[in-house]
Amino acid sequence: MTYVPHTDADRRAMLETIGVARLEDLFVDVPAAQRFPELDLPGPLSELEVMRELEALSESNADVAHYSCFLGAGAYDHFIPSVVKHIAGRSEFYTAYTPYQPEVSQGTLQTIFEYQSMICALTGMDVANASHYDGATALAEAVIMAHSVGRGRRNKVILAPAIHPEYRAVARTYTQGMGLTYVGDDSLRQDLDDLTAMIDEDTVCVVIQNPDFFGRLLNPAKLQALADAAHANRALLVAVVDPISLGLFKPPSAYGADIVVGEGQSLGNPLNFGGPYLGFFACREAYMRKMAGRLVGQTTDAQGRRGYVLTLATREQHIRREKATSNICTNQALNALTAGAYLAAMGPAGLRQIAQICYQRAHYAAQCIADIPGFALVDESPFFDEFVVRCPMPPAELNALLWEDYGIIGGYELGPDYPILEDSMLLCVTEMNNRTEIDYLVSALEEVLP
């Protein structure tokens, strides 16, 4: 829309309405000496010159388009088909918010409905909402939901120690003041059998991550036993998952999960130097009304035509505060739309192919690195696309050498989060790391040995 500036008459009318004589009177509270400070700014530049300067500044960033990257730990470099960006960038979709007027927002509501449907198909759950801020807040909302399902009468939350440490920290912070007690994540020596033994009548939920933070795939039989024990005590099983892995492995519904959450960044959203991302959230139909967020449903209008509406909106901006399931209102709708476009573009076969490539290349890399004297795999458990390597020198020093001498973005240093693994790093391999890049990493590791 063309911008039309206020006329002199407009300004006079507005000043008269608010009771001041001139515009300067609006700033009388600002000391006169501070109103027009002298700014030491460089001279003006043309648009072309500004673009060149910004491009030069951007080249100082270590991005995955220019360097080999083996860093994962919750944010992953995956190929994004160009159609995904074209769809997400259309003007009618380009907003972070869920529309409130269905009569003028059918397109966006349909994309959210399709996103929810695909998340349900991926996780094996009955319903999914229109997303959360990120995977960590989705987990925190899952704990709150489980507490609500138990009518607030239970207080113990069992967290597996191999859940992403930032997810665990956010869950604890998010639920302060609710009287919840967190157990299970105080020692890496806890396994699924230990978690099962902790379940009692005071348990709100048991939370696991599969693949876990170290990339390991958990035993399906033990997961089912964990779910059975939780259900026997009327507790819920919450699963944190990598959506790409679900293209290859059984969904969480297959081993008894009641709530499934995770980070949806890997579904068509670029790394973006840390965000914004989206947290996906799905659950069984029995708990739908306890779910935080918005749910778009399909219906028909008075003429029998198909349409889409906000079927369930349980956040405080929609209903009375004391009845709301959450006070978080923004839902990262644009990121969810991007994830839906990615899933539609890839399809079941494409997602399976990506997962297989990640799995195969990660295992190739792990075997090659394990064969280097001084390096060793910390765990021989089955894994997906991440694995832990014990290093012959401090991981921080190793990463510095990889970057400075070889232009390789190395792995995630585990020591700050897990002191028992201070000599180890978490490496990630996706379809973006071809065999040439993997061999280059292996050669670099061989050359930097002390």
Q: pLDDT tens, 388-436?
A: 999 999 999 999 999 999 999 999 999 999 999 999 999 999 999 999 9
Nearest to 182 by CA among 206, 162, 165, 166: 206
The overall average pLDDT reported for the chain is 92
Nearest to 175 by CA among 332, 20, 292: 292
Answer whether residue 314 shows pLDDT above 70. no
Domain boundaries along the sequence of the chain: 68-80+347-447, 82-344
330-364 residue pLDDT tens: 668 889 999 999 999 999 999 999 999 999 999 99
Place of tokens 């923004």: 330
**Residue 231 CB neighbour total at 10 angstroms:** 14
In this prediction, residue 301 has a pLDDT band, given cuts at 50, 70 and 90, of confident
Amino acid at 242: D
Answer whether residue 58 shows pLDDT above 80. yes
* Residue, of 315 and 193, whose pLDDT is higher: 193
**CA 110/CA 117 separation, integer angstroms:** 10
CATH hierarchy code of domain 82-344: 3.40.640.10
320-330 residue pLDDT tens: 666 666 656 56
Which of the four CATH numbers 3.90.1150.10, 3.40.220.10, 3.40.50.1950, 3.40.50.2300 does domain 68-80+347-447 have?
3.90.1150.10
In this prediction, residue 61 has a pLDDT band, given cuts at 50, 70 and 90, of confident
- Please state, in angstroms and as integers, the Cα–Cα distance from residue 401 to each residue in 75, 367, 430, 441, 450, following that order: 23, 22, 22, 12, 11
Percent of the residues in the chain that have a pLDDT greater than 70, as a whole number? 93
For residues 298-318, average pLDDT: 80
Which segments of 69-152 does DSSP mark as H helices, in order? Answer: 82-88, 106-123, 135-149
Nearest to 98 by CA among 334, 448, 411: 334
For residues 267-291, average pLDDT: 92
**CA 411/CA 447 separation, integer angstroms:** 17
Q: What are phi and psi of 280, to 5 degrees?
A: -90, 155
Answer whether residue 315 shows pLDDT above 60. no
**CA 430/CA 310 separation, integer angstroms:** 36
- Please state, in angstroms and as integers, the Cα–Cα distance from residue 127 to each residue in 145, 259, 260, following that order: 14, 10, 10
* Residue, of 231 and 3, whose pLDDT is higher: 231
For β-strands 279-283 and 259-263, DSSP reports them as antiparallel
**CA 246/CA 243 separation, integer angstroms:** 5
**CA 385/CA 80 separation, integer angstroms:** 18
pLDDT at 104: 66
* Residue, of 120 and 151, whose pLDDT is higher: 120
If you count DSSP H runs as helices and E runs as strands, how many of each does the chain have, helices first? 12, 15
Please check whether residue 329 is in contact with residue 321, taking contact to mean a CB–CB distance below 8 angstroms: no
213-251 residue pLDDT tens: 999 999 999 999 999 999 999 999 999 999 999 999 999
* Residue, of 328 and 176, whose pLDDT is higher: 176
Identify the weakest region by mean pLDDT among 151-155, 282-286, 363-367, 418-422.
Answer: 151-155
pLDDT at 1: 47
Nearest to 238 by CA among 184, 277, 189, 275: 184
Please check whether residue 190 is in contact with residue 236, taking contact to mean a CB–CB distance below 8 angstroms: no
Q: What are phi and psi of 296, to 5 degrees?
A: -90, 135
pLDDT at 370: 97
81-134 residue pLDDT tens: 999 999 988 887 876 666 666 666 788 889 999 999 999 999 999 999 988 889
Predicted TM-score of the model (pTM) = 0.87
- Please state, in angstroms and as integers, the Cα–Cα distance from residue 142 to each residue in 145, 274, 280, 346, following that order: 5, 23, 11, 28
**Residue 58 CB neighbour total at 10 angstroms:** 9
- Please state, in angstroms and as integers, the Cα–Cα distance from residue 159 to each residue in 162, 192, 239, 304, following that order: 8, 11, 11, 48
